[in-house]
Structure 1
Amino acid sequence: MGNETATAPEIKDGYDLPVYGLHQGHFYSLHIPALICIFLSFASAILTIVLSFRQKSFKTFFSWSKSERLVVYLAVCDAAFNMAHSMDHLHILITKDHVYPKELCQFYGFMLAVFISAQNLMVNVIAVNAFVLIFIGRQIKFGLKDYRLLLWTFGAPFVCATIAALAGQLGPNGSFCYFDGVKRTISNFLFTTVPLTIILLLNSILYGVTLREIYKKEKDIKKTLGKQALITEMRHAAARAMSVFVLVFLIQWWAMAVYGLWTFIDPAAVPATIYHLVTTFSNIGGLLNFLVYIYIKRRLHTFKPPTDISRQNCNGQESVPGS
């Protein structure tokens, strides 16, 4: 008898990887909870947008407070993210296979890359703005019709995701469509893991320092009377409202950061629990943002500064808690 050597098939890309959990009993427990979270998040994001524009005119959008506009921007991110992500999870759940054709999977991955990064950058801007507002007494200017904010938060991710797509870095990772599970080692680390981890740490520091300073200064405000004290109080209310964005961001993306670091160090050793945490927390952004919307609306309703002070505050900048 001649000796026969069995050679393992060459793994070229994510399509050569097995569908995660299909033979280990984790398949349905991964995709069904993920889809439930996604649909709840999508419905919440749409509800946030509808309620925002039902109470105020679209024509006056750029005269809304910063927090009100940011709620809408983040809701759009969540809705687009959830729409694309629901399609790939649903496709995999029905077919029990990777998403085909590969161009469709790459499109889903492109959408996720753009809108995940857009949320990361936008919330980081919010954290920095709250910090600057408290410690310097000024706000970051977003430019005419927020062009600076939008160009940075959507333009930069679009360019980077386009480069990743052209380089063939997008595709199935075994669980969903994002960065290719075989080709992604460096691209996913540079595009997602490093920025997300840095932003999470930076936002956590800014969040803690800003809130600490707010509570510290509020003790002094209680001892002070007059217009300047009220202006300071309004700034603190605005910063506190913005800090809520940062808090829900930390809740939503901590698991993804852990997953990214773990897969970079040892992809084969990522426990099933991490996958489930990622598909749960990262898919509830719309719901968390809706809670922020409710919080801000209540702050705006309960905090009504005198008109003359509101106009004079911060050299004409917005001053209400949603600023």
Structure 2
Amino acid sequence: MDHDNSTSTHSSTLGPPALRDGYDLPVYGLGNGQFYSLHVPALTCIFLSLISAILAIALSFRKNPKRAFVDWTKSERFVVYMAICDGAFNLAHSMDHLHITITKRHVYPASLCQFYGVMLLEFILAQALMVNIVAVNAFTLMIFNKQLKYGRRDWRLLLWIFGFPFLLSMIALAAKQFGPSGAFCFFDGVNGGLAQFFLVTLPFSLILMVNTTLYVITWAKLRSIEKKLSLSLGKQSSGSKMKHAAVRAMSLFVLAFIFQWLTLALFGIWVFVDPVTLPPALIHAVTIFSNVGGIVNLIVFLVIRRRLRNQAQVSPDHSHGSKPSGTKDTSHTDV
């Protein structure tokens, strides 16, 4: 009898049982009436972004029906790579949100939720790494007049932006870090906090800082050169115009990335420091901004396309320019 009383007292002192994993968390929004205000805007942005990604790919191939993909300009190829990342991300995330919206429960079975988590990490990191390379390429092109080499058929670029995230995703999957976060499937809301910090929050914060710094330096250098040319009434060479157009095009990818993922970095830092006081507004902001990548990158594509068209009209003689015998004209690949 005394043992039973002591056990009962001990259990009441401990309070509710400890959370085992994300499936023990309540579904976000059901208890405070914010369930649909989270998932409906998220699904709206996701489907608009998915449509935009598909449209960007279709317009890209329609614009270059007879040219091999490897002969496209860098900016044109970047648009397709970004659209692939956006499309795959949106496809997986739409299934995730739809499942939760319809059932009002976490995603089951657990393996399906883990699959969604792997997809999200793979293509989020792929975008981050690719845009970082874009920022570095724009910087080296503007400051040192050199461009990065991506290997035949971009194999180095593709291995880095898709292969490395896949390796990290498999490691996180083996360590059982994926699961329900409470609002969607990503890193497990109970056991995956540390993995989320080191695999998403920390690298995203660093990449955002690096990209922003490179963008500011690159843009300042570009404006300085163009201002000097304007004051001296100097005329830009065709090669210089192409290089500056390339820098502007690449800079748009950097700005789009900052716009899309800044809230995710802030969210991750807040969760790591003090998850108890996480404001609902930040959660809703993440679900909006992180899901509009396809829309933003479609806008980037259309802006680049218009600039290239205008440039072709202003400098019709560039295609007839001469080049030294035995050299390869690579200026077009910069844009």
* TM-score using structure 2 length: 0.91
Could you tell me whether the CA contact under 8 Å between 1:303 and 1:321 is conserved in 2?
no
Give secondary structure in 2 for the equivalent of 1:316.
coil
Give secondary structure in 1 for the equivalent of 2:179.
strand
> Aligned AA for 2:17?
P
Could you tell me whether the CA contact under 8 Å between 1:65 and 1:318 is conserved in 2?
no
Could you tell me whether the CA contact under 8 Å between 1:300 and 1:322 is conserved in 2?
no
| Structure 1 residue 310: Cα displacement | 8.4
Question: For the residues of structure 1 that align with 2:204 and 2:192, how far apart are their CA atoms?
Answer: 16
Residue of structure 2 in register with 1:287 after alignment: 295
Residue of structure 1 in register with 2:22 after alignment: 14
Gaps of 5+ in 2: none
- 1:109-150 CA-to-partner distances (Å, cap 9, x unmatched) read 000000000000000000000000000111101110000110
Give secondary structure in 2 for the equivalent of 1:178.
strand
Residue of structure 2 in register with 1:237 after alignment: 245
Could you tell me whether the CA contact under 8 Å between 2:242 and 2:334 is conserved in 1?
no
Could you tell me whether the CA contact under 8 Å between 2:74 and 2:333 is conserved in 1?
no
Could you tell me whether the CA contact under 8 Å between 1:234 and 1:321 is conserved in 2?
no
Residue of structure 1 in register with 2:53 after alignment: 45
Give secondary structure in 1 for the equivalent of 2:186.
strand
Residue of structure 1 in register with 2:115 after alignment: 107
1:74 aligns with 2:82: yes
1:319 aligns with 2:331: yes
**Which aligned pairs between 1:161-310 and structure 2 lie closer than 5 A?**
161-222=169-230, 223=232, 229-304=237-312, 305=315, 306-309=318-321
Could you tell me whether the CA contact under 8 Å between 1:241 and 1:322 is conserved in 2?
no
> Aligned AA for 2:152?
L
* TM-score using structure 1 length: 0.94
> Aligned AA for 2:165?
P
**Which aligned pairs between 1:3-152 and structure 2 lie closer than 5 A?**
5-6=11-12, 7-57=15-65, 60-152=68-160
Question: For the residues of structure 2 that align with 1:60 and 1:240, how far apart are their CA atoms?
Answer: 24
Alpha-carbon spacing, 1:311–1:252, altered in 2? closer, same or farther (3 Å): farther
| Structure 1 residue 57: Cα displacement | 2.9
Alpha-carbon spacing, 1:145–1:96, altered in 2? closer, same or farther (3 Å): same
| Structure 1 residue 309: Cα displacement | 4.6
| Structure 1 residue 207: Cα displacement | 0.8
> Aligned AA for 2:193?
T
| Structure 1 residue 16: Cα displacement | 0.7
Question: For the residues of structure 2 that align with 1:127 and 1:147, how far apart are their CA atoms?
Answer: 19
Question: For the residues of structure 2 that align with 1:59 and 1:307, how far apart are their CA atoms?
Answer: 16
Question: For the residues of structure 1 that align with 2:34 and 2:61, how far apart are their CA atoms?
Answer: 41
> Aligned AA for 1:103?
S
Question: For the residues of structure 2 that align with 1:69 and 1:32, how far apart are their CA atoms?
Answer: 32
Could you tell me whether the CA contact under 8 Å between 2:72 and 2:333 is conserved in 1?
no
Could you tell me whether the CA contact under 8 Å between 2:135 and 2:254 is conserved in 1?
yes
Gaps of 5+ in 1: none
Question: For the residues of structure 1 that align with 2:240 and 2:140, how far apart are their CA atoms?
Answer: 13
> Aligned AA for 2:28?
Y
The alignment covers a number of residue pairs equal to 320
Give every structure 1 segment of 4 or more consecutive aligned residues whose post-TM-superposition deviation is greater than 4 Å: 1-5, 308-312
User: Cα RMSD over matched residues?
Assistant: 1.9
Give secondary structure in 1 for the equivalent of 2:189.
coil
**Aligned residues with identical type, % of pairs:** 51
**Higher mean C-alpha displacement, 32-41 vs 178-187:** 178-187
Larger CA Rg, structure 1 vs 2: 2
Give secondary structure in 2 for the equivalent of 1:303.
helix
Alpha-carbon spacing, 1:231–1:213, altered in 2? closer, same or farther (3 Å): same
Question: For the residues of structure 2 that align with 1:108 and 1:47, how far apart are their CA atoms?
Answer: 24
Alpha-carbon spacing, 1:310–1:214, altered in 2? closer, same or farther (3 Å): farther
